[in-house]
Structure 1
Amino acid sequence: MIIGTFALLRFVAYLASTLLFGASAMLALSGSRGLSLSIEADLRKMLRGASVAGMLSVLCLLPLQTASIAGEWQAMAQTDMLATVALQTRYGQAWILRVAAMLLVLCLFLRPRPGWTWPRALAAGLALLPLALSGHAAMEEGRTGLLHALNDMLHCLAAGFWLGSLPVFLLFLRRWSEPAHRVDATRALMRFSTAGHVAVAALLLSGVVNAALILSPAGLDTASAYQQWLGLKILLALAMVLLALVNRYWWVPRIRRQPELALGPLRRNTVLEVCVGVAILLIVSALGLSAPQ
């Protein structure tokens, strides 16, 4: 029960941070202040809700980590144990950094200044980075541990941008359907394509390195539940890549010539990408609490 609750709140925290970073970064890269402000207004309530949900879930993670270590719920109320985990473990130190970053995120999203997309994107990115210090990389020492942590940071940022920017992409498509916004939306869609290529390449490369670093001590074992779930995660990630490639190289070129034919499948594929990405986050939330061996 403790582990299940822990995994669920990890998922909420991941999802919130991903949305905040990806959406803010894509708005900052849109190339049109007017379009960015318009979409920012559409997303404001959702982003505010995500910032609150992210903060609350992150605050719950340290007590749950303490309870999982002790094996009992009562440990969540023991201040000496909470202090020990917070101050004397890598997980706790990463949690402190994450709470500080989420406080900054909360301030920027609850009282937003229109157009402050870059500060919000940077703050949300900072909130993603400590994730790399509390996972499997935290169990390693020396150069390998440093490499693993840096690779995890790249993986978190790439995944956060890709998945978190998809709702903005859907709104770009909606604006493209409006003649008054078509020029700006076309520019934004092209910028999304460029940034998306970089994010997907970084995600795949860092994912391969990450899997190698995690699995190398134990080796491949098809009977391992951890490795089975990791394999499912990899398959889902490849499915996302396939959907993105179909969108970019099949449907996007057809928007201008056959908008009534292309826009529907483009939207449906993007929504499916979001669903697959959310499923991946669920798996990651549980895998981080399991031993690879």
Structure 2
Amino acid sequence: MTPDTLLMACRFVHDTVLMLLWGGFGYLATLVPRGLAEPVAERLTIFRLAAVSLALVTTCAALPLQAAIIGDGWPDAVNGQVLGDILASTSVGKAWLWQLSAAGALAIAQGASARLAPMATAAMAALALASLALSGHAVMQGGWQGVVHPLNDILHVLAAGAWFGALLPLVLVLARFGQPPFRTEASVALRRFSRAGHWAVALTILSGTGNSLLIVGWPLGWSSTYQALLTAKVAVVLIMTATAILNRYWFVPRLGRDRASSLAAIRAGTIAEIGFGLAAILLVSVFGLLDPGGK
């Protein structure tokens, strides 16, 4: 397996777990009533610790993989001189140091009390996501674009993470509708998710469109591998958006009349959204390492 392929896999795992931590625990900390948020967060404890561990491992692995790509292959992945040169004199190395610091802060946040852990996890995961804008296509431009593009990239990953990440705890919240002690709180959590979801989806689409315009102009087409994969990602996001709209405006209003079948449909749609979200992240992990102007 080549360093490029492993770095793509590393990016996929890294971006996925950070989005799940940011969106999932941000949702629990701010939009889910405490009486329901606490048992859901407790159920996700093992997932949270595993996801933080993966974020640390993938961050540490990224630098050697970058060294192998920049240098002469696998031997340079463990070449101290090459690694030192990348850290000292390249934007890749400087961005990696910030990303390592953010991942370390995320790990330290796991020492917070059970009550504060969701908020601390979400805040540090958001910081780690924002640090991703310090590398990649967003920092390759000068002038006003060199300022606007990274800021727009930060907005995009945070909005997309808020939408995608919240879907996992939402599945657990939906399961509580059938339990009388939690039914009211689950209903409140679903309504709040629906309202906040409008903003997250809109910001994801608008900022994603802005990123595409800043990199390649009109994003749709097949003239290069980069543009073809970007087009596929746009299609996946549109399908994901359509699924979210179907849930919100067709099945949610029917909860009062036919709770069982509507809940089953909402749960199935939410799981489908998670699948589409994973596909979109995978596509970004691949074309994010490609030359937008290449074939």
What TM-score, normalized to structure 2? Answer: 0.95
Deviation at 1:118, TM superposition (A): 2.0
SS at match of 1:113: coil
User: 1:143 — aligned with what?
Assistant: 144
Contact 2:26/2:119 (CA < 8 Å) preserved in 1?
Answer: yes
User: 1:200 — aligned with what?
Assistant: 201
Residues in 2 aligned to 1:118 and 1:130: alpha-carbon distance in whole angstroms: 19
Paired residue type of 1:277: G
Deviation at 1:7, TM superposition (A): 0.3
Residues in 2 aligned to 1:237 and 1:15: alpha-carbon distance in whole angstroms: 15
User: 2:227 — aligned with what?
Assistant: 227
SS at match of 2:257: coil
Contact 1:138/1:145 (CA < 8 Å) preserved in 2?
Answer: yes
Residues in 2 aligned to 1:36 and 1:260: alpha-carbon distance in whole angstroms: 22
The root-mean-square deviation of aligned C-alpha atoms, in Å, is 1.4
Matching of residue 270 in structure 1 with residue 270 in structure 2: yes
Contact 1:29/1:191 (CA < 8 Å) preserved in 2?
Answer: no
Contact 1:29/1:188 (CA < 8 Å) preserved in 2?
Answer: no
C-alpha offsets along residues 105-133 of structure 1, whole Å, 9 cap, x if unaligned?
11223x34112122221111000001111
Aligned CA distance change for structure 1 residues 245 and 121 (closer, same or farther; 3 Å): same
Residues in 2 aligned to 1:2 and 1:262: alpha-carbon distance in whole angstroms: 46
Paired residue type of 1:274: I
Matching of residue 182 in structure 1 with residue 183 in structure 2: yes
Contact 1:36/1:115 (CA < 8 Å) preserved in 2?
Answer: no
C-alpha offsets along residues 40-69 of structure 1, whole Å, 9 cap, x if unaligned?
011010111000011101110011111111
Residues in 1 aligned to 2:285 and 2:194: alpha-carbon distance in whole angstroms: 28
Gaps of 5+ in 1: none
User: 1:102 — aligned with what?
Assistant: 103
Matching of residue 166 in structure 1 with residue 167 in structure 2: yes
Residues 104-143 of structure 1 mapped to structure 2, 5 A cutoff = 104-109=105-110, 111-116=111-116, 117-143=118-144
Matching of residue 154 in structure 1 with residue 159 in structure 2: no
Equivalenced residue count is 291
User: 1:282 — aligned with what?
Assistant: 282
Contact 2:219/2:231 (CA < 8 Å) preserved in 1?
Answer: no
Residues in 2 aligned to 1:195 and 1:113: alpha-carbon distance in whole angstroms: 27
Aligned CA distance change for structure 1 residues 142 and 241 (closer, same or farther; 3 Å): same
Contact 2:220/2:231 (CA < 8 Å) preserved in 1?
Answer: no
C-alpha offsets along residues 3-23 of structure 1, whole Å, 9 cap, x if unaligned?
101100111111111111111
Contact 1:91/1:138 (CA < 8 Å) preserved in 2?
Answer: no
Contact 2:220/2:230 (CA < 8 Å) preserved in 1?
Answer: no
User: 1:246 — aligned with what?
Assistant: 246
Residues in 1 aligned to 2:143 and 2:51: alpha-carbon distance in whole angstroms: 36
Contact 1:125/1:157 (CA < 8 Å) preserved in 2?
Answer: yes
Identity percentage over the alignment? 36
Deviation at 1:222, TM superposition (A): 2.7
